[in-house]
Structures are given as structure tokens and as C-alpha cells.
């Protein structure tokens, strides 16, 4: 599946405060903010995912990967039990594409970005209190 990412640019004050945190706390704050943002996209996908048997909806989950001190990835993945998601998402010669994943990401990425920023900002304000 093609990857997608959300980048938060700016917020110089947040970045400066972030650099004051130790590694464990920084990783926790990043993880919590990304989790909140990814959950908004995951919920949107689950709302519109085709549901005949329920296998597809039950196969969609969120996975966390720690890449480095300042890079945590949240990946929405679909288990191999629902291998047919590709046919539904992209279509085939016989099936029209439903684009439930791409449309959900496109429609919710702004909300996810805002959720990530606000969650991180709230955690940083708690750190400074």
C-alpha cells in the first residue's frame, strides 16, 4: 500500500521546549500525539470500510514503530486475513474501486494533524507547569 505521512512544520516554541525533554519523555509525548492523530484516521476508515462478514473491519489496526529519538511511526495495517482489501480499495478488472482507505486519509488528515499538534502542545504545557 502506498505510504502517507503528515508533517507538522513550524511551532518553533514547541520544538525548543521539546529539545529540553529527556529521551524517554520525548518518545512518550510523540507517541501519544501520533496515536491520537492516527486514531482519527483509523476511526474514519472503520466507519466506511466495506462490511460483509466483518473480517475486514476486524483486521484493521494501528501499529507503532520507534525509528529514532525524534521519529515514531504509526502505521495503519490490515492483517492478511483480509487480503482482499486491495481489490476493494484499488478495484480490479471486474470490481470498481471503493477507495475507502485513501478517501478516509484525505478527508481526515487535516483533523489528524490538528489532533497531533494539540495533543503534543497539551503534553508540553503539562511538562512546563
What are the tens digits of pLDDT across the range 62-106?
Answer: 998 877 766 778 889 999 999 999 999 999 999 999 999 999 999
Contact 53, 82 (CB under 8 A): no
Cα 127 from Cα 129, distance rounded (Å) = 6
Question: ∠ CA 49-51-57 to the nearest 5 degrees?
Answer: 60
Question: Torsions phi, psi of 71, nearest 5?
Answer: -145, 110
| pTM (predicted TM-score) | 0.75
What are the tens digits of pLDDT across the range 13-45?
Answer: 666 666 666 766 777 777 888 899 999 999 999
Amino acid at each position: 500500500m502506498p505510504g502517507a505521512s503528515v508533517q507538522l512544520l513550524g511551532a518553533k516554541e514547541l520544538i525548543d521546549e521539546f529539545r529540553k525533554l529527556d529521551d524517554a519523555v520525548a518518545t512518550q509525548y510523540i507517541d501519544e500525539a501520533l496515536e491520537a492523530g492516527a486514531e482519527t484516521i483509523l476511526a474514519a476508515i472503520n466507519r466506511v470500510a466495506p462490511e460483509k462478514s466483518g473480517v475486514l473491519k476486524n483486521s484493521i489496526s494501528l501499529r507503532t514503530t520507534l525509528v529514532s529519538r525524534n521519529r515514531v511511526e504509526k502505521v495503519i495495517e490490515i492483517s492478511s486475513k483480509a487480503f482482499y482489501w486491495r481489490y476493494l480499495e484499488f478495484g480490479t478488472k471486474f470490481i470498481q474501486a471503493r477507495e475507502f482507505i485513501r478517501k478516509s486519509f484525505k478527508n481526515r488528515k487535516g483533523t489528524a494533524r490538528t489532533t497531533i499538534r494539540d495533543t503534543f502542545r497539551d503534553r508540553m504545557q503539562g511538562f512546563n507547569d
